Structure 1
Amino acid sequence: MTLPTDGTAPGARADLQLLAWITALTALVAIIATFILAMTGHGQEATAVAGIGAAICAAAGGIRVTVNIKR
């Protein structure tokens, strides 16, 4: 077994990719549900779904910055 040279634990990259896919899927479902609810005249429900979807995506995904310093 070879360890990554960037200091991450083995399997950490797969976990991050899974989190990214789940976040993207949640955003997509929230956008589709918001659109359908808005088009069928359910404005308040569409606003609630959009807010919940945005909150989940912000909490789960956020912004990830990686800095690699080579000396």
Structure 2
Amino acid sequence: MEPAPTGQPHAMLAAIDALRGRDAVAAAHMAKHRELLPNDSIAYVVLLNSSASPVFLSQRARLIEGLRKAGLPER
């Protein structure tokens, strides 16, 4: 039995591509992510990735910047 597909790798690829200016590829990855996880949002990413570490928060901010550029909705 195969594990259920997850959209998280597609979100990460979408963020990376968006931050590198590869908008069409980012949009394709985000579309796949939204197909697998249609209710995902920036707010949910923040909720799931909380920390008091400044280093972690800096990395999360960069991820969120990419996710926004790739089209992940705020809520």
TM range (shorter): 0.3 to 0.5
Which has the higher Rg, Structure 1 or Structure 2? 1
Higher relative contact order (CA 8 A, sep 6+): 2
What TM-score, normalized by structure 2, do the two folds share?
0.40
